[in-house]
Amino acid sequence: MNYKGLKKIINSVEIPTEPHPTFTTLAAVNPPGVTGLNDEPSQEFQALKTAFFFNLERELEKVNAFYLQKEAEFKVRLRTLIDKKRILQNRQGAHVQVSLANLKEGFLQFQHDLTKLQIFVEVNATGFRKILKKWDKRAKSTTKELYLSRQIEIQPCFNNDVLSDLQDQASANFTELDSVLEEPGAGNMAKSVEAPSRSDAVEDVETELTKALAAKNVGAVKEFLQRRKSVVGSQGVPPDEDESLSRAFFRFCGDSSLECLNLLVGSGEVDINFTDDVNDRSYLHESAVAGRLDVMELCAGLGANIQAVDVYGRQPLHYAAMFGRPDCATFLIGRGAVVDALDHDGCTPLVYSITGGHTSCAQIFIDNGAAVESLSPIAPIPLSLACQHGQKEIVTLLLSKGAKLTANADGLFPLHLTSREGHHEISQLLINHGATVDAKDTLNGWTPIFYTASEGHEECARVLIDAGCQIAVKDDSDWLPWTYALYRGHIAVARLLEVPNGGEEGMQLVKSVVDKGIKPMAPSALFVAEESGDVDMDDIPDLSLPPPIIPFRIYGHAFLDKRFYIQINFSSLTSKDNSPIRLFGSRQLSSLKLIISSKPEVGVPYSVILPLQDDQEVYTFLVEDITQFSLQFDIFPTFGTKPIGRAVCLPSQLGMMMGKSWSGAGLREAVISPLFDPHLRVVGELGFEVAVVKPFIHPSLTIGGKVETYWKSHKVVNTSKGNADTGIHSFITASSLAEEYVEVVVQATKDGQVAVYPDWFLPVEGVNIAVPQIPFAKAQSLFARRKDGSGRAVQGFGRLAQELRKGARLTCEELAGIVYGSLYSLEEVLTTLPAGVGLSIVLKYPTSSERAALELTDVIDLNAFVDAVLQNVYDHANQRSIIFSSFNPSVCTAINWKQPNYGVFFRSRCGFGKVRGDPGMSGNPVHVEESDVRCGSIKEAIHFAKSSNVLGVICEGTPLVQVPLLISTIKESGLILATFGTVNEDPANVKLQEGFGVDGIIANNVFRYNVT
């Protein structure tokens, strides 16, 4: 569908204004005698409405007509393949195996092509939904659902039943052929006593010929041909044997020696223009795939058709390009092959050479006059394709031949593509050839710098900035490139894109979000002209109800009780794509569906479309008995119902991971399971990661018990993105948190004790001794012997109890300073601090990246660490106000699920770097490159916090001070927001953050929560 054309019509519609941004009632209708200025739809609006829906109908007709044509073609094609399979079932002989292999490939290609049609249907269905949503939003109408149900969904193209049935049939036939070809005697699909009779001597010598050709044994081939003559004799070649040598030549033209093949040709029984009856490939197609120039010369010399076309519309030259055979390509072009020949996908050989990265082939095609622009509306643009794949040499070739810098089907110019993919050298090349650095794409209105900022490509950003791109440009959401870089944690790029006072407009936007004033229910007659008293029913606006009522307070959150919490997420097995599945052999489908279920069933199975759109997505299970729990993964074609393979994760595997993993499987543990097809053959492998949270048991672990449970509530506000009259709402969260908390950083020692100490390493000269690697008593002993810069022993160990025994009235800052300056047990801090002092407990546990970079060994498992912290808290906290937080996402997940009484926050440095100690503790900085994107991005921190149901996030304050618009983005997600960092040492920064809704400020190791 022409999405851009329809969007252009929508953008021409003037946005109607409404008197109230949240909801409208009948009370807001103008009273009799009062008419607003915008009550009557304008003629211009009606004309645009007519144009929009007229064009929408034509697009629907176009999509439906294309689909029906392709559906008919696929039905005929599948029937042909099945008929050929049925014929082969009644044949015998070695040559049948060749046909079976080609038939299997035909079914595989059919599935690939069918998937393309199914994706075409899905893309257009999404396009119709999105364009109708845009129309409703712009025109303030409610057309979408009605139009979808009455006009869109009833069309044949959006009925998936037909395509699913075709996919199932193809998958079943492919699996059957795959099974047969792996068995001995694969040439005999149907060993029936009624099979056609044939000479046993001929059968034997055929098998002998196959062995001789495979071994490249010239003498054996000669002997076979002589014996064949004696067997056939004067009777001639039997009718069912007239193509046997042609099939043998076809099978071995890519593998056997030229001498052997010459002997076959010399027999006079080889048809030089023979084509396989499954995919219509000739000898030239096969030799191009194998790169056999000598065979190609032999066949061409005997009159083989250079421009023979197979079932996919591809000539031998296409396959030479696909597989990177420059010598074959040169030969074929010299013999008259058309360099710009189009296959059924509209692709030329040049396109395939670019996709495969075969620069030498591309050079040959371009030198021989290949078109550098797309010759088909459905084919990719060569230059765009080369830019996307980072083929610098090919880009240089195309530009030297005058390739135009035009937008592709997605509305992206070449510079957009290189900026998105991070190919800075090609970006510079495009700019040198006149690419506009501030060109906007036709879909999002983004310039190249937006893509660079979003993906974090520093070198690309430098290239664009040096070329003079505008960095102060905003998109439709009023976000700068700088904002996107900060939001996604690309701080090095953000420093390049910083705009002085760039957040001021965003500040005004945030301030205007919540309008606390009371608006009049109807305009006063004093300010409008008097009109007729008749009321037109069309003037009455649609009744729009206010947002649903939210419970005033929600106490605590769900917890495990006695159950286990299992998380599954997927990681890519290859760097080429984003798929956790690798299928063996040639069966690589472009799109698959993964169904995740459990035994026993603990919920509705998950359905996952591959390749993954979000590799951070987590799939969870609450399990009563982990010793009886198993996971089952079934792989299907995206739109099919016949399984391709199945993998399982057994209870023994889960138990082994929990016993042998350094984190006790509390962090994600990688698992690779084999995929079995319905015939129990291994057809691939599935990679995934598992994390297990064990239950924590304590008598006080209840809601409503002696431990006071926190509560939270929400209020609805208009979103800050877009205009206030869009009617889109989000939540602002309030909670029962206390006003002040002393921050204490806790970690586990080797003997399982919980130490209050903010740094990984003890201050021992000349050696790195990590707290998790020694017992608690030894850690205290080493800490007590530390010395200052002058070599004197440092006083202060045990000072907390001494000061409190003196009756000193210490402030939270003083208490925090004492705690941070020493090493205590958590039990000692809980029992010593006054009961009225709240504690913000920061759980320090290494991520996999930290463990590797800091060489932290012998760390106790994550579940044991969290249990030890909770044991101390529930034993000694009494009614003290406590919150938990951690920079480790797995710790946040574990402590949130293990208890319901205390709020949990996820901490993020937002990409501003990691050091050996947490903020507030001096020490030698050690940068750790964190592989977990959740730890370094505001966007991913929000996503994790919401999906994990934690109370809020604690972010590095620098990006929020720079662009306060990010504050509203976090708050609108329904999370409580606190900040830390050196920016909070400046009172002006604190005042700014609080003015824009930050709930808590951490400074001097004290968490201050704004309760107003």
DSSP per-residue string spanning 243-300: THHHHHHHHHTTTS-HHHHHHHHHTT---TT-B-TTT--BHHHHHHHHT-HHHHHHHH
Q: Mean per-residue pLDDT for 962-974?
A: 93
Here the tokens at position 29 are 């209708």
Residue 993's pLDDT is what? Answer: 94
pLDDT tens digits for 831-855? 989 888 999 999 999 998 888 888 8
Name the amino acid, one letter, at 417: L
Residues 6+ apart with CB under 8 A from 8: none
Which 8-state DSSP code applies to residue 650? -
Residue with the bigger pLDDT between 321 and 617: it is 321
Residues 6+ apart with CB under 8 A from 154: none
Angle (nearest 5°) at CA 821 between 819 and 826: 35
Q: How far apart are CA 803 and CA 63, in angstroms?
A: 79
Closest CA to 665 of 863, 871, 887: 863
Q: How far apart are CA 768 and CA 404, in angstroms?
A: 59
Collapsed DSSP state (helix, strand, coil) of residue 685: strand
Which 8-state DSSP code applies to residue 179? H
CATH for 711-1009 (3.30.420.10, 3.20.20.190, 3.40.50.300, 3.40.50.720): 3.20.20.190
Name the amino acid, one letter, at 809: R
Residue 186 has pLDDT above 70, yes or no: no
Collapsed DSSP state (helix, strand, coil) of residue 587: coil
Residue with the bigger pLDDT between 424 and 661: it is 424
Residue 20 has pLDDT above 50, yes or no: no
Q: Mean per-residue pLDDT for 970-974?
A: 91
Residue 805 has pLDDT above 70, yes or no: no
- Contact by Cβ (8 Å): 615, 570: yes
Go through 591-600 and write b for each residue having 16 or more CB atoms within 10 A of its CB, e for each that does not.
Answer: bbbbebbbee
Here the tokens at position 644 are 């391709």
- Highest-scoring range by mean pLDDT, 55-59, 131-135, 554-558, 645-649: 645-649
Collapsed DSSP state (helix, strand, coil) of residue 609: strand
Closest CA to 670 of 579, 576, 573, 578: 573
Collapsed DSSP state (helix, strand, coil) of residue 713: strand
- Contact by Cβ (8 Å): 686, 889: no
SS (H, E, C) 177-246: HHHHHHCCCCCCCCCCCCCCCCCHHHHHHHHHHHHHHHCCCHHHHHHHHHHHHHHHHHHCCCHHHCCHHH
Q: How many other C-beta atoms are found inside a 10 Å radius of the C-beta of residue 831?
A: 15
Name the amino acid, one letter, at 749: T
- Contact by Cβ (8 Å): 833, 652: no
Residues 6+ apart with CB under 8 A from 101: 181
Residue 826's pLDDT is what? Answer: 94
Here the tokens at position 158 are 């959006």
What is the torsion angle, in degrees rounded to the nearest 10, for the CA atoms of residue 548, residue 728, residue 615 and residue 646?
A: 50
- Highest-scoring range by mean pLDDT, 197-201, 820-824, 940-944: 940-944
Which 8-state DSSP code applies to residue 189? S
DSSP per-residue string spanning 86-142: HHHHT--STHHHHHHHHHHHHHHHHHHHHHHHHHHHHHHHHHHHHHHHHHHHHHT--
Residue 869's pLDDT is what? Answer: 97
- Burial category of 950 from C-beta neighbours within 10 Å (exposed 0-12, middle 13-18, buried 19 and up): buried
Collapsed DSSP state (helix, strand, coil) of residue 16: coil
Q: Mean per-residue pLDDT for 925-946?
A: 86
Here the tokens at position 774 are 């020694």
pLDDT tens digits for 889-903? 999 999 999 999 899
pLDDT tens digits for 470-529? 999 998 888 999 999 999 999 999 999 998 876 555 455 444 443 433 333 333 333 333
- Contact by Cβ (8 Å): 785, 795: no
Q: State the CATH architecture for 413-513.
A: Alpha Horseshoe (1.25)
Q: Do 563-693 and 711-1009 fold alike per CATH?
A: no
Q: How far apart are CA 799 and CA 691, in angstroms?
A: 41
Which 8-state DSSP code applies to residue 680? S
Residues 6+ apart with CB under 8 A from 556: 703, 709, 710, 711, 900, 901
Collapsed DSSP state (helix, strand, coil) of residue 1006: strand
* 47 Cα distance to chain centroid: 41
- Superfamily for domain range 563-693: C2 domain (2.60.40.150)
Residue 961 has pLDDT above 90, yes or no: yes
* 983 Cα distance to chain centroid: 34
Q: How far apart are CA 900 and CA 557, in angstroms?
A: 5
Q: Is the dihedral of CA 14, 19, 20, 26 positive or negative?
A: negative
Residues 6+ apart with CB under 8 A from 200: none
- The residues pairing with 569 across neighbouring beta strands, listed in sequence order, are 689
Residue 120 has pLDDT above 50, yes or no: yes
Residue 587's pLDDT is what? Answer: 59
- Tell me the pLDDT band of 151, cut-offs 50, 70 and 90: confident
Angle (nearest 5°) at CA 805 between 804 and 808: 45
- Tell me the pLDDT band of 629, cut-offs 50, 70 and 90: very high
Name the least confident of 82-91, 197-206, 356-365, 438-447. Answer: 197-206
Closest CA to 579 of 621, 608, 620: 608
Quote the mean pLDDT of the chain: 81
- Contact by Cβ (8 Å): 384, 396: no
Fold of 272-404: 1.25.40
For the chain, give the number of residues. Answer: 1012
Report the share of the chain in percent with pLDDT over 70: 79
- Tell me the pLDDT band of 777, cut-offs 50, 70 and 90: very high
Place of tokens 């949990």: 904
Place of tokens 């509305």: 411
> Strands, DSSP E only, in 321-465?
none
Place of tokens 């440095």: 909
* Interstrand relation of 1000-1003 and 976-980 (parallel, antiparallel or unpaired): parallel
The helix-helix angle for 258-266 and 218-232 (nearest 10°) equals 20
Here the tokens at position 735 are 């909670």
* 214 Cα distance to chain centroid: 45
- The residues pairing with 646 across neighbouring beta strands, listed in sequence order, are 634, 676
SS (H, E, C) 518-559: CCCCCCCHHHCCECCCCCCHHHCCCCCCCCCCCCCCEECCCC
Closest CA to 996 of 512, 517, 483, 484: 512
Q: Mean per-residue pLDDT for 203-215?
A: 72
Residue 589 has pLDDT above 70, yes or no: no
- Highest-scoring range by mean pLDDT, 10-24, 81-95, 811-825, 909-923: 811-825
Q: Where are the domains of the chain?
A: 3-182, 199-271, 272-404, 413-513, 563-693, 711-1009
Q: How far apart are CA 665 and CA 690, in angstroms?
A: 7
Residue 17 has pLDDT above 70, yes or no: no
Residue 806's pLDDT is what? Answer: 58
Q: How far apart are CA 526 and CA 563, in angstroms?
A: 67
- Phi-psi region for residue 886, left (φ > 0), alpha (ψ -120 to 50) or beta? beta
Residue 90's pLDDT is what? Answer: 67
Which 8-state DSSP code applies to residue 707? S
Q: Mean per-residue pLDDT for 701-712?
A: 69
Residues 6+ apart with CB under 8 A from 792: none
Residue 679's pLDDT is what? Answer: 79
φ, ψ at 215 (rounded to 5°): -85, 0
- Contact by Cβ (8 Å): 559, 588: no
Q: Mean per-residue pLDDT for 929-937?
A: 87
Angle (nearest 5°) at CA 881 between 743 and 922: 5
